Amino acid sequence: MLLRIALFFVVACLALLVIGAEDYYKLLGLKKDASEREIKKAYRTLSKKYHPDKNHGSDTAAQKFVEVASAYEVLSDKETRKIYDQYGHDGIQQHKQGGGGGSRQQNDPFDLFSRFFGGSGHFGHHGGERRGPNMEVRVAVPLRDFYNGRKTEFTIEKQAICSACEGTGSEDGHVETCDTCGGRGVRIQRQQLAPGLFQQVQMHCDACQGKGKTIKHPCPVCSGSRVIRESETHVLEIEKGMPKGVRITYENEADESPDYVAGDLVVHLAESEPALGQLEHERTDGTFFRRRGKDLFWREVLSLREAWMGDWTRNITHLDGHIVQLSRPRGSVVQPHAVEIVKDEGMPIWHQQLENNEGLQFGDLHVEYVVVLPDIMEKSMEKEFWSVWEKYRKKKGVQIDGHLGRPEGAIKMPTPDEEGHDEL
Ligand SMILES: [Zn+2]
Ligand SMILES: [Zn+2]
């Protein structure tokens, strides 16, 4: 009976293995011709997503975490990738059993994780794992990207764990404990202060520069420093209506070190100075909209005739290229600095979870009218206008300052003596 139960268990496990043997490329979300870089990137993203520290108690996530590590190990090695491409999972299985290559056995998935993100392969939210500092960068994008939403990329330079030596600093992988200090990085020395009076002083170990470890053959890529400078490109997804100054966090993408878990890379999304773009679609009038929260502001210039007499039309090309038409019929007056509010022509209102932008709402567009008066006129035109003005001024002209009740002359102020006293 016991044997049967054990057998059943083994079969169940095998079944699980077979079901679990998902295509490695599919698992990493890659095409067959994926580059080394893409494989790395996919591993970085997925290993963080499925890390058990972030998926408390989820067996499926834990299994995915292991599978993603296996997929990476196979596809990141030229030899095993070739075998996998030709013979699939079975080929890899045979390769392992035959000890082919031999150098790369199945690694601990946490070990692999730590080669990418430092520390001991955990996220450092618990267990006192050291975390590196966060890295803050400012990325400025034009207003139209905030309006339309856009997927773009940015590149930063950062410290990365040397992949040639997997963060050991050693060419052959051998790292020895320092003989001089026994791996502590410090030595205790007795100093004589006076006859019979000693003091114990902690000294930095010279033999290993305080690292506690020595390397005979330093890695040629990082010269033994275990880290390199590397530029990394990240995808930046600007969602419609995101506020400027919004912080976008890329977990564990700050400077890496084998000594700590990498901190987060935090992007501050700023608005770049308005400027006409080079491409046709970037040359919209909206380039010069100003934004305040969900509203947009625009200044439209009218001539005296237009402001006074009406009968005009303006087409403003909005940030996504659509036209907002402003107009007045004949006889409609626009006062200088009057503000017209055009409903729903402002910024999209940012919702973090909006499927396909369904139900997207917009702020308003505030149009301020500026009126410019002509300062040069043709002589005949000036004459005609003058006579028209004279005619109507004589008929029922109004003295504006008198109308406002203003005094006609200067007013004499009382001297202090005449002023009297306030009753307190
Ligand atoms: Zn030492
Ligand atoms: Zn190295």
| pLDDT tens per residue across span 326-337 | 999 999 999 999
On whether the CB atoms of residues 103 and 247 are closer than 8 A, the answer is: no
Distance CA 236, CA 250 (A): 10
Q: Which tokens sit at 214? A: 């020595």
Q: What is the pLDDT of residue 270?
A: 94
On whether the CB atoms of residues 291 and 350 are closer than 8 A, the answer is: no
Query: Comparing 1-10, 192-201, 273-282, 308-317, which segment has the lowest mean pLDDT?
Result: 1-10
Question: Residue 214: which pLDDT band, with cuts at 50, 70 and 90?
Answer: confident
On whether the CB atoms of residues 160 and 118 are closer than 8 A, the answer is: no
**How many residues comprise the chain?**
424
For the chain, what are the domain ranges? 2-107, 280-372
pLDDT in tens, 29-40: 999 999 998 999
**Domain 2-107 identical in fold to domain 280-372:** no
- d(CA 223, ligand 1 centre) in Å: 19
DSSP 357: G
- d(CA 154, ligand 1 centre) in Å: 42
Query: Comparing 108-122, 131-145, 375-389, which segment has the lowest mean pLDDT?
Result: 108-122
Q: What is the DSSP code string of 241-281?
A: TPPTT-EEEETT-S--BTTBB---EEEEEEEPPP---SSGG
Strands 247-250 and 197-204, sheet pairing: unpaired
Span 54-65, average pLDDT: 89
Instruction: Specify the fold of 2-107.
Output: Helix Hairpins (1.10.287)
Chain-centre distance for alpha carbon 366: 30
Q: Which tokens sit at 373? A: 């008066």
Span 293-316, average pLDDT: 95
DSSP 358: T
Domain 280-372 classified CATH 2.60.260.20? Answer: yes
- d(CA 173, ligand 2 centre) in Å: 10
Q: Which residues contact 258 (CB under 8 A, 6 or more apart)?
A: 114, 118, 161, 167, 168, 226, 227
In the chain, the amino acid numbered 382 is E
Q: Which tokens sit at 47? A: 């290993």
Query: Comparing 204-218, 354-368, 393-407, which segment has the lowest mean pLDDT?
Result: 393-407
pTM of the model: 0.73
Q: What is the pLDDT of residue 372?
A: 94
- d(CA 175, ligand 1 centre) in Å: 12
- Ligand closest to CA 171: 2
26 HSE (CA, 13 A, CB side): 5
On whether the CB atoms of residues 332 and 315 are closer than 8 A, the answer is: no
Strands 186-194 and 197-204, sheet pairing: antiparallel
Say yes or no to pLDDT of 418 above 70. Answer: no
Span 191-214, average pLDDT: 84
- d(CA 208, ligand 1 centre) in Å: 4
- d(CA 203, ligand 1 centre) in Å: 10
- d(CA 350, ligand 2 centre) in Å: 44
On whether the CB atoms of residues 204 and 185 are closer than 8 A, the answer is: yes
Span 380-403, average pLDDT: 87
- Ligand closest to CA 186: 1
Query: Comparing 8-12, 272-276, 355-359, which segment has the lowest mean pLDDT?
Result: 8-12
| Average pLDDT of the residues of the chain | 86
- d(CA 121, ligand 2 centre) in Å: 19
- Ligand closest to CA 221: 2
In the chain, the amino acid numbered 142 is P
- Neighbour tally for 327: CB within 10 Å: 11
Most confident of 58-67, 168-177, 280-289: 58-67
- Ligand closest to CA 220: 2
Question: Residue 285: which pLDDT band, with cuts at 50, 70 and 90?
Answer: confident
- d(CA 112, ligand 1 centre) in Å: 28
Distance CA 221, CA 216 (A): 15
- d(CA 33, ligand 2 centre) in Å: 27
Q: What is the pLDDT of residue 127?
A: 57
- Ligand closest to CA 225: 2
Q: Which residues contact 319 (CB under 8 A, 6 or more apart)?
A: 143, 144, 147, 148, 284, 286, 287, 289
- Ligand closest to CA 164: 2
Q: Which tokens sit at 62? A: 């834990």
On whether the CB atoms of residues 82 and 74 are closer than 8 A, the answer is: no
Span 114-126, average pLDDT: 77
Distance CA 394, CA 407 (A): 23
- d(CA 167, ligand 1 centre) in Å: 19
